[in-house]
Amino acid sequence: MKNLNKQFVFSLLALVFTATALNAQMSAGQIDSLVLKAMKTVDHTVGFSIGIVKNGIILHAKGYGLTSIKTNENVTANTPFGIASNSKAFTSAALSILVDQGKLKWDDKVIDYIPEFKMYNDYVTNHFNIQDLLTHRSGLGLGVGDLMIFPNDSNFTIGDVLKSFQYFKPTTPFRTKFDYDNLLYLVAGELTARVSKQSWESFIDENIIETLGMKNSSASLSNMADATTIAIPHGFIENKLMPLETKKGNTNMNGAAGGIWSSATDICKWMLAQLNKGKYGTDLNTILFSEQQQQEMWRMHTPMNRKSDPHSPFKSHFYGYGLGWFVSDFNGYLKIEHTGLIAGMASEVILIPELELGIVLLNNSEKSGMLNGLISYALLDEFLNLNTGINWIEMASGMQQQRGNMVDAETETVWQQINSNKNIACNKKNYIGVYEDNWFGKVEIFDNKGDLWFKSYKSPRLNGKMSFYKDHTFAIKWEYQDMNADAFAIFSLDKYGKAQNIKMKGISRFIDFSFDFQDLNLNRIVNN
């Protein structure tokens, strides 16, 4: 009898908690207060936009701050931001639409549609299926080959991407471990194009963006109806907050990994379609993609290691990747989410399907990336009635100071040593020449008014002065300074002292993983 009573009490408490959580809701004023406080607390915040959907309606959509510190134009709920990797869910949805149309199956082999696709061995090439393109389990390392798309105005083509995978060395066995990959999403975009007989951009615009009435969105910045309204990305150039040059990107690539621009209001429409299991419209009688495909996109395909912490306020036990989405449990609820980051731009989308809750956060400043995470935790704390007692916004100052000090200490030490070595003589002629990597192509080390310079043939913004560091290692300060991507070039010399090979790595250990200098193996092909 005691056990029955205890069970009854637990059931009652569960019902009460569920009802409370379902009804938990913040007013517009409370959301405004939270956002404004966060923007004031997090340094270098320029502009921000937020959208919240709840119970089938747009609860809140609003912009804050500026699109640019030069123009002082205000951000609105309709201001387009680069959503970066949140584009991946659109790519998965595009393929889901094609599956629903019977034009492909998830377990179809990629080479059946793209015969020239070639991985690092024949077995993987012959067994690589469409879902493998979307699940980050290829066996290749984190961000491998991303230098073909970072910076985003390179001269690489989708053909270069398709040929590149055979040259990369796997770090884990096929389908055994999660390692985030952008290039395979470009292959997914190319597959979408070949099956649909139109570009990935056109397919996304026509079948998703226009279909859902996302009027201030586009799969490509080049195709934006009015590019003058966009939020301008901001970064730090010589420790000064600056608007960054907005490039329209490489037209020889697709944007399947991160090319979409959208607004808070428009992403709300996208989230509603997701939460409505692919249905949209006033009466929800029209289907974007089937419920079956939605379940496939939200199913965990690639588990990721996450230790269960009994003291965590989120009570998360599992974490993994679906198709274009991260999947986890969050205080007893399913959590579907993704983040996105490009130079000077950050986005976050969170869905709690059981509560019919969706949150989108967009900002346009490189060093305020934590803003999205802190606001999202604060919102989830309130909407899920977690009562964690944590002041998420006050955490920002300490986090900023800690990270800033670590980055500054590391990079400053390197440049201090370089400055102290500036009078050390080295035979520059031994390094001058043309070098080539199998996937990245040619680079040139040349004399520029007495200084050594590095120039990439296919990625023109990776061009910069080389300064002696130690031994046969030089530090490169790129003319491109958007993402703290300065790098070391480590030369190997022959017995005559002439450089024959270059290996590279980022100077800062906080460098974005997409600057995968460590994957380069540059061999001399032309002697001076």
pLDDT per residue, tens digit, the chain (528 aa), is: 334 343 333 333 333 333 333 446 789 999 999 999 999 888 889 999 999 999 999 999 999 999 999 999 999 999 999 999 999 999 999 999 999 999 999 999 999 999 999 999 999 999 999 999 999 999 999 999 999 999 988 999 999 999 999 999 999 999 999 999 999 999 999 999 999 999 999 999 999 999 999 999 999 998 888 888 999 999 887 778 899 988 666 678 999 999 999 999 999 999 999 999 999 998 999 999 999 999 999 999 999 987 666 667 778 889 999 999 999 999 899 999 999 999 899 999 999 999 999 999 999 998 777 889 889 999 999 999 888 888 888 877 667 666 655 666 778 889 899 999 888 888 999 999 999 999 999 999 999 999 999 999 999 999 999 999 999 999 999 998 888 899 999 999 999 999 999 999 999 988 999 999 999 999 999 665
pLDDT score, position 400 = 64
Q: What does the chain come to in residues?
A: 528
The residues, ordered by sequence, that sit 6+ positions from 346 with a Cβ below 8 Å of its Cβ are 84, 339, 340, 362, 363, 365, 366, 368, 369, 371, 372
Give span(s): CATH 2.40.128.50, the chain.
410-527
CA distance 100 to 296: 12
pLDDT score, position 1 = 39
Considering the domain delimited by 26-385, tell me its CATH architecture.
Answer: 3-Layer(aba) Sandwich (3.40)
Backbone angles phi, psi at 347, to 5 degrees: -135, 155
CA angle 86, 505, 509 (to 5 degrees): 65
Amino acid at 458: K
User: DSSP code of 256?
Assistant: T
Place of tokens 């588990």: 303
Place of tokens 């199998």: 438
CA angle 277, 281, 286 (to 5 degrees): 60
Query: CB-hemisphere CA count at 13 Å for 429?
Result: 2
Closest CA to 150 of 505, 509, 489, 480: 480
Place of tokens 């747009």: 58
- Quick one: which H or E segment has residue 296? helix 291-298
Closest CA to 516 of 464, 465, 473, 462: 462
The residues, ordered by sequence, that sit 6+ positions from 378 with a Cβ below 8 Å of its Cβ are 34, 38, 392, 393
User: DSSP code of 341?
Assistant: E
Contact 351, 337 (CB under 8 A): yes
pLDDT score, position 422 = 83
User: How crowded is residue 346: how many other Cβ atoms within 10 Å of its Cβ?
Assistant: 27
Give span(s): CATH 3.40.710.10, the chain.
26-385
Residue 217 burial (10 A CB sphere; 0-12, 13-18, 19+): buried
pLDDT score, position 16 = 33
Place of tokens 């397919």: 203
Residue 169 burial (10 A CB sphere; 0-12, 13-18, 19+): exposed
CA distance 189 to 118: 16
pLDDT score, position 15 = 32
Q: What is the pTM of this model?
A: 0.92
Paired tokens of 195:
């099956």
Considering the domain delimited by 410-527, tell me its CATH architecture.
Answer: Beta Barrel (2.40)
Residue 444 burial (10 A CB sphere; 0-12, 13-18, 19+): middle
Per-residue exposure over 470-495, b if at least 16 CB sit within 10 Å of its own CB, e if not: eebebbbbbebbbbbbbbbbebeeee
